[in-house]
Structure 1
Amino acid sequence: MARRVMMVTGGSRGIGAATALMAAGRGYDLLLTYRNAVERADATKRACEEAGARVVLVQGDAGAESDILAAFNRCDEAFGTLDVLVNNAGITGPKRLLADTTLEDWTSVFTPNVIGVALHCREAVRRMSTKRGGKGGAIVNVSSRASEIGSGGEWIHYAASKGAVDTLTIGLAREVAAEGIRVNAVNPGLIETEIHAASGQPDRLARLTPGVPMGRSGKAEEVSEAVLFLSGTASSYITGTCLPIGGGR
């Protein structure tokens, strides 16, 4: 059987890398984008190749239209098709009270997290839509439980950007449902990745995990399982869903 093609943004580490590796083992070839982590991206590429995938790496800024277009063009050249887009790239920005935020805090977070996601979705729809000559496909946006919780006292700017991702997911799902494209989101909670330390809160998991009803933080692979489910035929009647993955929190 021909392998399907998945694009994963921010595919060098964390949830993105876990999703890529899982997808490689389940019959996908991959285009992975990353920004700065060259060594991590190369390591993820090698691991996915060892799992049987053909992998193309593209370095770029997930919020820059020129880099986004370059990534999709490279996918066209390498594979000639795209079955699944996983919008994983994004940033939290620094921990701030809203009263202390700057315009830069807001624009730096919203540019990749919202505008970049929207532009990636646009390019995927242009290629997947049956009304535009495509064969359909699936889009999975990596949102966050922050979109509902609000992240007051930490990063309201990040939470607001993920609220926008949820709205985009629901609206786009309804817009392209008749064009063979399903659009869903996963909303991870406290997951064991580097995002906490990168935001200046290396103790965040230890501090907040006692508030999780299941009594533990999650693993990136637990999110990846949901991403792969929403990408495949087992979820063929699911669209416009934002799936919480937060241990009950």
Structure 2
Amino acid sequence: MTLPPMPLSSSSPVLLVTGGGRGIGAAIAIAAAAAGHAVAVNYHRDEGSAHSVVQRIVAAGGKAVALQADVAQEDQVLRLFAAVDQTLGRLTGLINNAGMLAPQMRVEDMSAARLQQVLATNVIGCFLCAREAVRRMARSRGGAGGAIVNLSSMAAKLGAPGEYVDYAASKGAVESMTIGLAKEVATEGIRVNGIRPGLIHTDIHASGGEPGRVQRLEASVPMGRGGEPEEVAAAALWLLSDAASYCTGTFIDVSGGR
């Protein structure tokens, strides 16, 4: 794959955050920009939220662009990464954050269409974005290395019974990919790690039909509360940084001990 010429003006590390317009993705994009990254804020449908994140970053003196793409669609992923190349320069970091929940349901009631949609976004999208990132970061392809952080979930360990077993399974697949890819590209100067958020205050729970899910379950958290997106962002920024230079194929649980 031949990449287009890179802009000469960008000397900052270049980060793509998929699903970066809201929740954990938005918190990571804002924190990364404050740490000196030029940030591509990807969104699927919510253009307004993505542009609000970009405006906040630019107002604080950072550099960011909002880029639309459905990560489950290969042609759109290719377009997304080409747009990052053209606007910000060669990628040095990827946050694979885009994901979806379907309404709470037991496995016995799940349709094939639901399963295909969840797996396409949460698993295939993660693979496609990681593939394109590796093509840009790998030393053998002219890159300078980099870091990929995949957002998993504590659901991968807990199973989400009676609610989101399909979502939990998709995140289990993301974890297996993280471990395998980390080993595959370690000699290319690319580190691949994951984060397992627990009960975090974001609007993804409304997508599952229960906006107050964190409040209902926070008594089960040893720390007694739900987490904030900024707490997940802090872990992501550490994994992107040189402070995590000897970490690959590993996970940080941001779950209050759950």
Identity %: 48
Give TM-score, length-normalised by structure 2: 0.95
Counterpart check, 1:85 vs 2:106: no
Give the equivalent residue in structure 2 for 1:16: 25
Check if 1:218 corresponds to 2:218.
no
TM superposition outliers: structure 1 runs of 4+ over 6 Å: none
Question: 1:36 maps to which residue?
Answer: 45
1:21–1:51: 8 Å Cα contact kept in structure 2? no
The alpha carbon displacement at 1:3 in A equals 1.6
Q: 1:157 aligns with which of 166, 171, 177?
A: 166
C-alpha contact 2:14 2:89 (8 A) present in aligned 1:
no
- Alpha-carbon distance, 1:52 to partner: 2.1
Equivalent AA in structure 1 for residue 28 of structure 2 = T
Pick aligned residue for 1:123 from 110, 117, 132:
132
1:102 aligns with 2:111: yes
Give yes or no for contact 2:98–2:121 (8 Å, CA) kept in 1: yes
Equivalent residue in structure 2 for 1:190, among 199, 209, 215? 199
3-state secondary structure, aligned to 2:181:
helix
Aligned counterpart, 1:133: 142
Secondary structure of 1:62's aligned partner: coil
Match of 1:176 among 153, 167, 185: 185
Deviation by residue 1:227-247 (Cα, 9 ceiling, x = unmatched): 000001000000001211100
Corresponding position: 1:5 with 2:14: yes
For 1:117 and 1:31, the matched residues in 2 are separated by 16
Provide the C-alpha distance between the structure 2 equivalents of 1:241 and 1:176, rounded to a whole number of angstroms.
14
Partners of 1:51 and 1:140 lie apart in 2 by 24
Q: AA paired with 1:141?
A: N
Corresponding position of 1:199:
208
For residue 203 of structure 2, what is the amino acid of its counterpart? E
Once residues 15 and 203 of structure 1 are traced to their aligned partners in structure 2, the CA distance between those partners, rounded to angstroms, is: 17
Contact 1:143 1:186 in 2 (8 A): yes
For the residue of structure 2 that corresponds to 1:138, the secondary structure is strand
- The gaps in structure 2 that reach 5 residues or longer are 1-9
Deviation at 1:207, TM superposition (A): 1.2
RMSD over aligned CA atoms reads: 1.0
CA displacement at 1:53 relative to structure 2: 1.9
